[in-house]
Structure 1
């Protein structure tokens, strides 16, 4: 091999390793896109005082046994969804978590930090609402599945869910050794295998972000008879909640 060719190979390898290193150190900025909260009134927000950060929750309070906890996508201002959920499910108190760095919450988002916040929120809500439904959308579906494997959730609804974040990342970055670099894996399938709570999976017919086979693998990881998959027609990853089937099928579960 000539010296010129050897130098070129070394340069290519060096550039590749530099790109992998950059992805490793900045990967969370490619996963989480913090959004401010559109609603900030004191009577519609709850503060979780975690040991290392104050985490905010958008709320719609209601006295009664039923509550709904919502975990949103990686670039979602969950406060915007509260009015629609309040209108669709008036029997539920609502608690929509702003991930760390989102909506005024302190700290930086990570899988472990969000999982701890989710547990703390559930425990606080459970003290006054013993029947809790959990809804997770996109990234939040991984948060919801993990929570449901650790706490007595009444119902579980997963919107545009995936089997693992690693699968999603491999499709987006096929040239990167994702398995060795990824910190936040959101292994939903692993947690789903231990669930007994009734679960509804809502997939978009034309999801351009989450491949259908990833959702299908998640479904297959649930024990037999626990989970049901429904495909919302004429919908994409971000437009699924604009379709009437989204609200109707969710209502079939929550309004029983």
Structure 2
């Protein structure tokens, strides 16, 4: 009996230590910043982009890359994934702007030359600064947030509060709580998670046409979370499923072409 008691105590202590580590290091999991140093557009091979430094409402300085839209073409506000940085996305940016679309690509606080440390509230302030930058140059009817993974939660929050033309969500989640509960099923994440990114509560306030793209083989954000978000969203909306697609490879299955076709289409 004493051995059993000590075993239970040991398990309880180990579990408590694990919970403590997850709680205090949770932002290391959500925001695994791959690069903190600045890379200019020219050095990254994207000389057509202008680099700007924006000041957020709480005083941080974030970097955005801006490619001006031609004539009345849309401007895409791009919010990247948690393990991305702007210089690594140049190939994608070139495809997005090839037919005259504008681009405003955001380097979140703490990422690749931007000051501060990332958090949900912080990233939403970064998004607000990027939207203000866009609105100073374009009509709201030209603005199209296009976002990947972590960035879809940022874009959904932005679109729920501001006028946009359309919204493109690539590998989105219903909430960060759902994703964390999937990966850490033994942890009461709904009580512990500080950055919950509740897209499920925000998407119901978006009236702009919506495109969701997701891969059936996504093991990072399972497709059911994208489906849940889609079910909650208002019309007009489209869901494009890539049967062979995982999480980071949707571009290989036509995601960029699908998104651009959606943007060019007259309706939702």
Q: TM-score, normalization: structure 1?
A: 0.92
2:184 matched to which residue of 1?
Answer: 173
How many residue pairs get matched? 253
1:161 aligns with 2:172: yes
1:242 matched to which residue of 2?
Answer: 252
| Counterpart-to-counterpart distance in 2, 1:61 and 1:33 | 30
| Counterpart-to-counterpart distance in 2, 1:7 and 1:248 | 59
CA contact (8 A) 2:64 2:105 kept: yes
Query: Cα deviation per residue 1:99-144 (whole Å; 9 max; x = unaligned)?
Result: 1111111111111100011011101211111110001101111111
Partner secondary structure for residue 221 of structure 2: coil
State the shift of 1:172 in Å. 0.6
Q: Select the residue among 64, 69, 94 that pairs with 2:77.
A: 69
CA contact (8 A) 1:60 1:82 kept: no
| Counterpart-to-counterpart distance in 2, 1:34 and 1:209 | 17
| Counterpart-to-counterpart distance in 2, 1:143 and 1:79 | 20
1:125 matched to which residue of 2?
Answer: 134
1:113 matched to which residue of 2?
Answer: 122
| Counterpart-to-counterpart distance in 2, 1:41 and 1:252 | 26
Q: Let me know the Cα RMSD of the aligned residues.
A: 1.9
2:32 matched to which residue of 1?
Answer: 33
2:46 matched to which residue of 1?
Answer: none
| Unmatched 5+ stretches in structure 1 | none
2:4 matched to which residue of 1?
Answer: 5
| Counterpart-to-counterpart distance in 1, 2:91 and 2:245 | 21
Partner secondary structure for residue 240 of structure 2: strand
2:53 matched to which residue of 1?
Answer: 47
Change (3 A) 1:156 1:167: same
1:78 matched to which residue of 2?
Answer: 86
Does 233-242 or 19-28 show the bigger shift?
233-242
CA contact (8 A) 2:211 2:239 kept: yes
CA contact (8 A) 2:39 2:87 kept: yes
Change (3 A) 1:255 1:28: same
| Counterpart-to-counterpart distance in 2, 1:207 and 1:6 | 42
State the shift of 1:208 in Å. 1.7
State the shift of 1:38 in Å. 7.6
State the shift of 1:231 in Å. 1.0
Query: Cα deviation per residue 1:217-242 (whole Å; 9 max; x = unaligned)?
Result: 1111112x232100124321111112
Query: Cα deviation per residue 1:145-191 (whole Å; 9 max; x = unaligned)?
Result: 11000110111000011111111111111111111111111111111
State the shift of 1:41 in Å. 4.3
1:92 aligns with 2:101: yes
| Counterpart-to-counterpart distance in 1, 2:80 and 2:29 | 16
| Counterpart-to-counterpart distance in 2, 1:171 and 1:87 | 33
State the shift of 1:247 in Å. 2.2
Partner secondary structure for residue 161 of structure 2: coil
| Counterpart-to-counterpart distance in 2, 1:22 and 1:210 | 23
